[in-house]
């Protein structure tokens, strides 16, 4: 690494550095968690650094394909798309590129104190969260996968990639019908009634392929009909729950 490259690296590190005290929290006597430094004390320059660092993390999660796996990215996506005039107003959405970024504009003036505080604290919460980073998200997924395998008594060869794929199917089903509870109930009923955890690799692949391409689950929600079609089209042995 030559001097110019070293200087550029130092400059990049400095531009994304955020004072730890800005992210430090303390617990009050009543058990409430608050930030040590009030939002009103955060300077514009510090705010811009938080935005830059947060957007770098969003970009990294997108590049790694961890849209659904990262809880923080899901929250950003939820507010950016479902409440663009309210909480989503602090995000910039690019539909063509399918990307979301924190806004670089900070509300100013006496009438925007609450909006300013909300935006700063949202950035703080994001930066403090484990799943705002690629490494942290992968660790969280691995922990969830191991817990899932232990608690569900999976007898088939369900890999971590299969687990991530299942999670994506569930998330997509919820987005398609805009009713998370309906999507969740349909998904879990299908999982139980196909006895997915006891399938072999070929059956797991067939079941997940059907779920990924099935619009009936979200549009109609008739689980028995979907199961019947699965049995006919994929030749899967079903274990119906009486």
- Do residues 25 and 35 touch, judged by C-beta distance below 8 A? yes
Residue 119, classed as helix, strand or coil, is helix
pLDDT (tens digit per residue) in 44-67: 889 999 999 999 999 999 999 888
| pLDDT above 50: residue 16 | yes
- Say how many Å lie between the first and final Cα of the chain, rounded: 67
Residue 70: name the closest of 134, 121, 125, 165 by CA: 134
pLDDT (tens digit per residue) in 220-229: 444 555 556 5
How many angstroms separate the CA atoms of 62 and 49, rounded? Answer: 20
pLDDT (tens digit per residue) in 187-208: 666 666 666 666 666 777 777 7
pLDDT (tens digit per residue) in 94-140: 888 888 999 988 766 666 788 888 999 999 999 999 999 999 999 99
Q: Where are the domains of the chain?
A: 11-133, 151-234
Q: How confident is the model at residue 238 (pLDDT cuts 50, 70, 90)?
A: very low
Q: What is the pLDDT of residue 241?
A: 36
CB-based contacts of 48, cutoff 8 Å, min separation 6: 104
Angle among Cα 33, 70, 192 to the nearest 5 degrees reads 110
Provide the whole-model pTM.
Answer: 0.71
How many angstroms separate the CA atoms of 48 and 15, rounded? Answer: 9
Question: E strand or H helix at 14, and its extent?
Answer: helix 3-16
Residue 30: DSSP 8-state: T
* DSSP code string of 145-209: HHHHHHHTT--S---HHHHHHHHHHHHHHHHHHS-HHHHHHHHHHHHHHTTGGG--HHHHHHHHH
| pLDDT above 70: residue 149 | yes
Q: What is the pLDDT of residue 130?
A: 94
Share of the chain above pLDDT 90, in %: 22
How many angstroms separate the CA atoms of 95 and 115, rounded? Answer: 25
| pLDDT above 80: residue 12 | no
| pLDDT above 80: residue 29 | no
Look at 184 and 139; give whichever has higher pLDDT: 139
């Amino acid at each position: 690494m030559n001097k110019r490259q070293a200087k550029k690296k130092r400059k990049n590190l400095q531009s994304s550095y955020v004072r730890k005290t800005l992210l430090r929290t303390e617990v009050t006597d009543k058990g409430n968690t608050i930030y040590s430094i009030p939002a009103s004390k955060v300077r514009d320059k510090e705010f811009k650094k938080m935005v830059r660092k947060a957007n770098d993390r969003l970009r990294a999660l997108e590049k790694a394909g961890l849209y659904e796996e990262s809880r923080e990215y899901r929250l950003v996506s939820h507010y950016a798309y479902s409440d663009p005039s309210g909480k989503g107003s602090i995000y910039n959405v690019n539909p063509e590129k399918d990307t979301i970024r924190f806004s670089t504009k900070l509300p100013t003036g006496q009438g925007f104190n609450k909006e300013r505080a909300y935006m700063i604290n949202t950035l703080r919460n994001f930066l403090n969260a484990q799943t705002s980073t690629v490494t942290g998200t992968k660790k969280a997924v691995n922990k969830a996968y191991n817990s899932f395998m232990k608690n569900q008594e999976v007898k088939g060869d369900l890999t971590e990639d299969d687990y991530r794929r299942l999670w994506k199917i569930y998330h997509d089903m919820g987005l398609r019908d805009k009713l998370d509870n309906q999507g969740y109930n349909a998904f879990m009923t299908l999982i139980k009634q196909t006895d997915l955890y006891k399938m072999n690799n070929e059956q797991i692949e067939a079941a997940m392929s059907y779920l990924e391409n099935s619009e009936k689950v979200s549009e109609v929600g008739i689980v028995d009909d979907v199961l019947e079609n699965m049995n006919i089209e994929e030749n899967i042995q079903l274990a119906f729950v009486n």
